[in-house]
Structure 1
């Protein structure tokens, strides 16, 4: 499968999702349920992990649209779990841009909620964010 390149990509057709350090730009095209992540088939990119694949397709499954669209995602940063959740958020946001009625269906499932948890910064005097050097009484 090849990526369809438009000379001008409009902002209305892009769904952006973020999770931890991962940022995903998601495009939905009419198709038959293919997944392409960073120009690699989605199953191969996600190491054939069914949990990751189900997470990505969940918003479309709730609306019974999984065989009507192809998902093309460009992802940077983070690990596979963060990238998967970022793609899921991007897909959900893009579906809501297409039709506002979908928002009321997806919102209760939590697909439109950005998970704001990120890595805590390291503090001076400590080894990590909270780990302190070993305390010696004598």
Structure 2
């Protein structure tokens, strides 16, 4: 792409230059590995998920097990399916995820975050709907650490007058 530089003498010339300038919108190229998969890391609370997506039938495997076995609660499975619902890509991608740390709720959030990022790597045009739904933002809320002189992070020991 050749870049043309023009010098403007006044602000009135700026409006004319803006009208004649051509805007080329270039989307980023898909980031795929040798097997045609997109990889992303998702995080939530203390959970970290490594997620690979590839075109397929909608099968989701988490730590070597089916999603209905690993995430028994329907709410957690619904969380994982949200990025596909927003982008209207239900049952079009196979997902393989490995999750470590945290509890089941944090792990489901981490997988959702990873799927959303991987979808943007696979198909960059899907970024705006995922961003608008808030799936690309890493939820930074974590458990507060315990402080010394306290029973928990903020709770004091029971006060005894006598």
Alignment RMSD: 1.7
1:16 matches 2:66: no
1:25-77 CA-partner distances (Å, limit 9, x unpaired): 00102110101000001101111x22111110111111121211111100001
After TM superposition, the runs of 4+ consecutive aligned structure 1 residues lying more than 2 A away are none
1:126 paired residue number: 150
TM-score relative to the length of structure 1: 0.87
- Which has the higher Rg, Structure 1 or Structure 2? 2
Aligned residues: 129
What SS does the corresponding residue of 1:25 show, helix, strand or coil? strand
Change (3 A) 1:124 1:9: farther
Unaligned stretches of 5+ residues in structure 1? 1-7
Contact between 2:38 and 2:119, CA under 8 Å: does it hold in 1?
no
Deviation at 1:123, TM superposition (A): 0.8
Deviation at 1:137, TM superposition (A): 2.9
Cα distance in 1 for residues equivalent to 2:137 and 2:50: 16
Unaligned stretches of 5+ residues in structure 2? 1-32
Cα distance in 2 for residues equivalent to 1:9 and 1:23: 24
1:54 paired residue number: 78
Aligned ranges for residues 1-138 of structure 1 at < 5 Å? 13-47=38-72, 49-138=73-162
